[in-house]
Amino acid sequence: MLETVFFYAFAALTLAGAILTVTMRSAVHCAIALISSLAGVAGLYLLQHAEFLFAVQIVLYIGGVMVLFLFVIMLVNLDAAARERQFHRHWLAALACLAGTGALVALFLTRGAESFKLGAPAAEAAPGAGNIETLSMLLFREYLVPFELASLLLLVAIVGGVMMAKKRI
């Protein structure tokens, strides 16, 4: 019961944060809304007993990525951007898209109603799943190659970032 309440609270936080992120005017406020959205996701992880993911989500996203976001937003002058019209005036196109999407979703819901019961969880979670031991066993044994390749991916991204940003190498 309590978990359900928390679930809806965190889900609401996530969604409200996401909506505010795209509708707020000031870039700093957008960033703060995004932070609350990410915090909501972290809370959802915690409800799933994925403590490690919870902590990592906070360390990486809120403490790392978002702090750098704010850092850049504060360094860059966004006043001009804030004065710009935030939404284009393509109301008709937007309404058409909305109607189309709504029709599709309605079709999904009606046609697929009987199949919309989510099946039994495919893989029963191991006891203590999400804990660091289980995670590291998976990460450093079965998923070792993707793990290592992720470092290659980061290397490429760093090289690319330096390449694009630096005037003279």
Give the binding site for another protein (CB under 8 A): 28, 32, 35, 51-52, 54-56, 58-59, 62-64, 66-68, 70-71, 74-75, 108, 111-112, 115-119, 121-123, 131-132, 137, 140-146, 149-150, 152-153, 155-157, 159-160, 163-164, 167, 169
Q: Is the CB of 25 or the CB of 86 nearer to another protein? A: 25
Q: How far is CA 26 from CA 15, 57, 61, in A?
A: 19, 25, 20
Q: CB of residue 95 vs another protein: minimum separation in angstroms?
A: 20
CB-wise, 12 or 132, nearer to another protein?
A: 132
**What is the closest distance, in whole angstroms, from the C-beta atom of residue 27 to another protein in the complex?**
11
| Residue 24 falls in which region: left (phi positive, over 0), alpha (psi -120 to 50) or beta | beta
Q: How far is the CB of 74 from another protein (least distance, A)?
A: 6
Residue 65 neighbours by CB distance under 10 Å? 14
Q: How far apart are CA 124 and CA 126, in angstroms?
A: 6
